[in-house]
Chain A
Amino acid sequence: MTAVVQSTAEPQAPPAAGGARSGRRKLSRRTRSSLTAYAFLAPGFALFLLLIIYPMIKAFQMSFYDWNVIAGAASEFTGWKNYQAAYHDPVFWRGLQNSAFYMALTVPPQIVLGLFVATLLNNRAPARALFRVLFYLPVVTSWVVVSLLFQYLFADSGLVNWMLHDVSHVTSHNISWLSGRWTGMIAVSALGVWKGIGWSMMIFLAALQGVPKELLESAEVDGAGRWARFRAVTLPAIWPAAAFVTVMLVIGGLNVYISVALMTNGGPADSTQVLLTYMYQQAFTNLNFGYGAAIAALLTIGVFILSAIQLRAFKVDQEDLA
């Protein structure tokens, strides 16, 4: 979803030496140049087509089959049956709800807190580099490790319960976080926010470099308060970055997998299934590949639609602000 500015590269100008040339020779030079380009492109692009594009198409195809995993065995074409099955499957809908719940619980805090920390760090501060590293540490740590770590912290006699119950007496008893639907999703979301703040902070820090200082100062001279300055100067300047962060976080939220798989594995009794844990279990535990592919296809379409809506919404707002 990275917004790409298609800066068209200057086509390589042929060397000026040699004076006037016939059109035919120019053409052959151009063809030769194209062939060179294709030669550079071929190995990587072929691999890309085989490993990414072909599976993309294959995924949609598989979703219309009762797919047989055994190599060589025939698979039966079943039309929309896998999609109908999803429509009538309560666990699929619960997975969708849980994914949406995770998104709602993780995306806004990551944006707000990431931007907040970035503004705190933006002004020249002595320990700025240190803080940046500390906030970014969870981002570079693997999902596997931090998922296990949070499972440990949210264990029945773990650190979180100790702090909530024994230290601060916020809760009257120890909460069994990972054995309930909502508490489990909250624990997983806590991990998502904790791991993600550093990332959005980094993007916003880079974007804040582009806020015109003169405008901020002249707005201040004109008596604009700090909220007014933020709205009128800072926000428009970081708007593209905010759009990027939001779109990426929404996609990431819908794609939550490893943390749920390792912390609750969708349990107990499918209560904390998210779309991808359910897809994975359908495919690789139940060997229901066609159904898994249908869930993946639905999710892909959902991601594309949501991203398109967001990009559009951000653009409209930007014009409003300007």
Chain B
Amino acid sequence: MTASSPDLLARQPAPRPAYRRRRGGVTAPALRYAVLIVGAAIMVLPFLYMVSTSFKSQTYVLTLPPQFIPHPATTANYSQAWTDNDLGRYLFNSIIVAVISTGLSLLLSSMMAYAFARFAFPLREVLFKVLLLGLMIPAMMLIIPQFVLVKDLGLFDSLGGLVLFYVGSSLSLNTFLLRGFFQAIPGELEQAMQVDGAGAFVRYWRLILPLAKPALATATIFTFLGSWDEYVWAVTIINTPTKRTLPVAIALFHGQNSTLWGLVFAASIIAIVPVVVVFLLFQRYFVQGLTAGAVKG
């Protein structure tokens, strides 16, 4: 907790500190940037090294001293991952599962959020608290009974089994997030529609959902990435190789060919590039989703 910014140190009491802050003391900002640059380098260099290794042939992946710029560089890992190792298939599976899970989860949770935000009904608070239990219980704690359940439902070793449980485990957070947003929409708009004879579903579909686009975007991103990255459940219930999703396939690449690091990282990069792109494009929705829980508390 000793953290505080160095540039506060050099400041004198002043009527307009905002100006002084930037002009005064060259060393403090310089030090601040030095610390930030070192920190950022620690965050990013492992990724760059991974990219570098994905272009190395097996001979060079663990040489000493390490190769930072692959020489000779090769794209063989990428073509091998794609052709010999069926990566396209896993990519397809991951996309299908993530898209369907996200769509279903958003539909169901926005409907629940609408009910919680806009209606008074018996047991509302109790039901909402029960739903919040889902936020508290970590996914791994339920994996054993869920495994028994997915077998009973006849969805073992199927993409449907993945979708169903991805939806189930995202309902709490999404409903919580959307309910907060729906409550902030002025009630007069809805009453006006009601006077005009619009039923509840029309109001939900035509008014609430379009107005809640930012919150829906946040929920979409979180649910999509959650399904896209999910590993434990998928590796537990999927046996058939053609039904694997990307994280499972990558982890198994690693297991089968325990030292083919170039191949493992080529596949990893194919898996994380879409995530990084989505993150860069929709950053502000990430922040909203993250802080929804923290700031309200």
A residues adjacent to B (C-beta < 8 A): 1-7, 9-13, 15, 17, 30, 33-34, 36-38, 40-41, 43-45, 47-48, 50-56, 58-59, 62, 69, 71, 111-112, 115-117, 119-123, 125, 127, 131, 133-138, 140-146, 148-150, 152-153, 155, 157-159, 162, 166, 194, 197-199, 202-203, 206-207, 210, 217, 220-221, 223, 226-227, 229-230, 234-235, 240-241, 243-245, 251, 255, 257-258, 262, 276, 279-280, 283-284, 289, 292-293, 296, 299-300, 303-304, 307
> Contact string, B1-43, partner A, CB cutoff 8 A, digits 1/0?
1111101110101000100010000000000110110011011
Asked whether B254 lies within 8 Å of A155 as measured between CB atoms, the reply is: no
With contacts A140-B225, A142-B271, A198-B43 taken as known, whether A48 is within 8 angstroms of B134 at the C-beta atoms is yes
With contacts A117-B36, A144-B229, A217-B17 taken as known, whether A194 is within 8 angstroms of B42 at the C-beta atoms is yes
| B-side interface mostly | helix
10 A–B contacts from the bound complex (CB under 8 Å):
A12-B187, A33-B120, A37-B115, A37-B118, A43-B108, A119-B3, A144-B251, A162-B65, A241-B297, A276-B140
User: A69: which B residues are within 8 A, CB to CB?
Assistant: 148
What size tier do the contact residues of chain B reach? 35 or more
User: Distance in Å from the Cβ of B225 to the closest Cβ of chain A?
Assistant: 7
Closest to B146 in A: A55
User: A142: which B residues are within 8 A, CB to CB?
Assistant: 228-229, 231, 247, 271-272, 275
- Distance A207 CA – B296 CA, assembled complex (angstroms): 10
Asked whether A112 lies within 8 Å of B3 as measured between CB atoms, the reply is: yes
User: A241: which B residues are within 8 A, CB to CB?
Assistant: 294-295, 297
Point out the residue from A44, A145, A146, A149 that lies within 8 Å of B109, measured CB to CB.
A44
Asked whether B119 lies within 8 Å of A48 as measured between CB atoms, the reply is: no
Number of A-B contacts (CB under 8 A): 327
Asked whether A3 lies within 8 Å of B296 as measured between CB atoms, the reply is: yes
Within 8 A of A (CB), among B124-150: 124-125, 127, 130-138, 140-149
User: B66: which A residues are within 8 A, CB to CB?
Assistant: 158-159, 162
With contacts A41-B112, A115-B3 taken as known, whether A52 is within 8 angstroms of B169 at the C-beta atoms is yes
Asked whether B137 lies within 8 Å of A52 as measured between CB atoms, the reply is: yes
User: B3: which A residues are within 8 A, CB to CB?
Assistant: 112, 115-116, 119-120
Asked whether A45 lies within 8 Å of B131 as measured between CB atoms, the reply is: yes
- Distance A7 CA – B164 CA, assembled complex (angstroms): 31
User: A199: which B residues are within 8 A, CB to CB?
Assistant: 290
Point out the residue from B40, B142, B195 that lies within 8 Å of A131, measured CB to CB.
B40
The 9 closest A-B pairs by CB, nearest first: A3-B297, A51-B168, A11-B120, A116-B3, A2-B293, A44-B108, A37-B119, A142-B229, A55-B145
User: Distance in Å from the Cβ of A305 to the closest Cβ of chain B?
Assistant: 13
User: A137: which B residues are within 8 A, CB to CB?
Assistant: 43-44, 47, 276, 279
User: A220: which B residues are within 8 A, CB to CB?
Assistant: 11, 13, 17
- Report if B239 contacts A (CB, 8 A): no
Closest to B18 in A: A124
User: B276: which A residues are within 8 A, CB to CB?
Assistant: 137, 140-141
> Contact string, B62-104, partner A, CB cutoff 8 A, digits 1/0?
1111100000000000000000000000000000000000000
- Distance A206 CA – B287 CA, assembled complex (angstroms): 8
With contacts A62-B145, A202-B291 taken as known, whether A41 is within 8 angstroms of B127 at the C-beta atoms is yes
Asked whether A40 lies within 8 Å of B272 as measured between CB atoms, the reply is: no
User: B287: which A residues are within 8 A, CB to CB?
Assistant: 202, 206
Closest to B9 in A: A226
- Report if B111 contacts A (CB, 8 A): yes
Asked whether B165 lies within 8 Å of A51 as measured between CB atoms, the reply is: yes
Asked whether A210 lies within 8 Å of B131 as measured between CB atoms, the reply is: no
Closest to B139 in A: A255
User: Distance in Å from the Cβ of B64 to the closest Cβ of chain A?
Assistant: 5
User: B49: which A residues are within 8 A, CB to CB?
Assistant: 153, 159
Asked whether A148 lies within 8 Å of B254 as measured between CB atoms, the reply is: yes
Asked whether A299 lies within 8 Å of B141 as measured between CB atoms, the reply is: yes
- Distance A143 CA – B232 CA, assembled complex (angstroms): 10
User: Distance in Å from the Cβ of B263 to the closest Cβ of chain A?
Assistant: 11
- Distance A302 CA – B251 CA, assembled complex (angstroms): 30
Point out the residue from B172, B280, B296 that lies within 8 Å of A48, measured CB to CB.
B172
